[in-house]
Structure 1
C-alpha cells in the first residue's frame, strides 16, 4: 500500500491526486446529505452537457487520474528531465483521454438521469404580457406572454378591476387560477417604471 501512495504523490499524477481527493470528499458529502449532486449545475462545453456538472467533472478527473497514474509508473526510473517532459505530455494526454471516456459514458447516462423539471404554468407568474383580445375583464380575455426561454404563448387572462383592459395594453401576471385555468393580470405602465 505504501508503494501505491508514494506513486500517487509523484509527478505527474500528484497534480490530479489532489483533485481526486476533492472529488471523493464531495461525493462523501453527497452520501451523507450535506451537499447536492446538482450543486454546480451543468457543463455544456466539451460535450459534457445533459448531466450534472459534478458527475461529468468527477468522471473526467477519475479517468484522467488513472491515466496519469499509468504515465507515472511508466516514467519510473528515467532521467529527471525525461520525467518532467514526459510527465507534462502524459498528463495532457491523460486529461484528453479522460474527457473522451467521460463523453462516451455520458451517452447512456443521459438517458438514465431525469430531465430538468417540466415547465409549469406558474412559471408565467411575475412576467409581463400584452392583451391580444379586444378587452380583458373579469370573465374574458387573452394575452401574449414571453417565457424566459424566449418562446411566447397566448394565455387566458382575467383582471379584477372594473375598467376592461383594451387590446395592446401591457399588464403583469400576478397569479394563476388552477380551477379556472387562467391568469390574473393587472395593468402596468412600463414607461413610468423606467423613470
Structure 2
C-alpha cells in the first residue's frame, strides 16, 4: 500500500493523480446536480470525432487510462534505473499515448451504446434533477429498444419542473448539446 501511495505522488503519476482528483470532483458535482455532463466543452462532440460521447467523458477516460498506465509503469520501472528522470519521462509519454489510443478504441463502443439524439425527439422523459429550467436539468428517457438514458434537458418559459415530473422531448439543441422539453 505504501508503494502505491509513493507511486501515485511521484513523477510521472503525480501529474495524472492531480487530474484524476479534478475529474473525480467534476463527476461528484455532476452526480449532485450542480454541473452537467456537457459542461466541459460547449462544442458539439461530433466536431472532435467523438460521435455522441460527451467531451467530458472522453477526457475523463484519457485521464483514468493515463493514470493507470503511469502507475503501472512507475511500479514496474520506477526502481529499475538509477536516474528517475529517464523512466519517468518515458512512462509519461507511453501513458499519454496508451490513454489516447485506448480512448479512441473505446469511443465507437460507447457510441453504439448511446442512442442517436434525434431518435429521442417526441419521446416522454422523467425529470431526475431537482429542477429543470432554461439553464439546468436532466431527465431519464427510455429508448425504442428499451434502454434507459440520462440526458441534459432545458425548459423555456414555464414553471420549472421538479424531480419525477413527466415531460415530452420537443427538440434537440445541437449547439447547446441538450434537449428542450415541454410539460
TM-score normalized with structure 1 length? 0.54
1:124-165 superposed Cα distances (whole Å, 9 cap, x missing partner): xxxxxxxxxxxxxxxxxxxxxxxxx9xxxxxxxxxxxxxxxx
How large is the RMSD of aligned CA atoms in angstroms? 2.3
Partners of 2:77 and 2:7 in 1: how far apart?
A: 11
- Partner residue, 1:95: 96
Kindly state the Cα deviation for residue 103 of structure 1 after the two structures are TM-superposed: 1.3
SS at match of 1:35: coil
Partners of 2:75 and 2:13 in 1: how far apart?
A: 9
Kindly state the Cα deviation for residue 117 of structure 1 after the two structures are TM-superposed: 4.8
SS at match of 1:96: helix
- Partner residue, 2:27: 27
- CA 1:19–1:90: 2 relative to 1, 3 Å: same
- Partner residue, 1:65: 67
Is the contact between residue 81 and residue 87 of structure 2 (CA under 8 Å) also seen in structure 1? no
TM-score normalized with structure 2 length? 0.57
Kindly state the Cα deviation for residue 48 of structure 1 after the two structures are TM-superposed: 3.6
Is the contact between residue 7 and residue 69 of structure 1 (CA under 8 Å) also seen in structure 2? yes
- Partner residue, 2:4: 4
User: What are the ranges of 5 or more consecutive residues in structure 1 without an aligned counterpart?
Assistant: 121-148, 150-195
- CA 1:105–1:62: 2 relative to 1, 3 Å: same
Partners of 1:65 and 1:29 in 2: how far apart?
A: 21
SS at match of 2:57: helix
- Partner residue, 1:114: 115
Kindly state the Cα deviation for residue 7 of structure 1 after the two structures are TM-superposed: 1.6
Kindly state the Cα deviation for residue 67 of structure 1 after the two structures are TM-superposed: 0.4
User: What are the ranges of 5 or more consecutive residues in structure 2 without an aligned counterpart?
Assistant: 122-173, 175-183
- CA 1:16–1:43: 2 relative to 1, 3 Å: farther
Kindly state the Cα deviation for residue 79 of structure 1 after the two structures are TM-superposed: 4.4
- Partner residue, 1:74: 76
Is the contact between residue 43 and residue 53 of structure 1 (CA under 8 Å) also seen in structure 2? no
Partners of 2:81 and 2:105 in 1: how far apart?
A: 36
100-109 or 61-70, which deviates more = 100-109
> Rg larger in 1 or in 2?
1
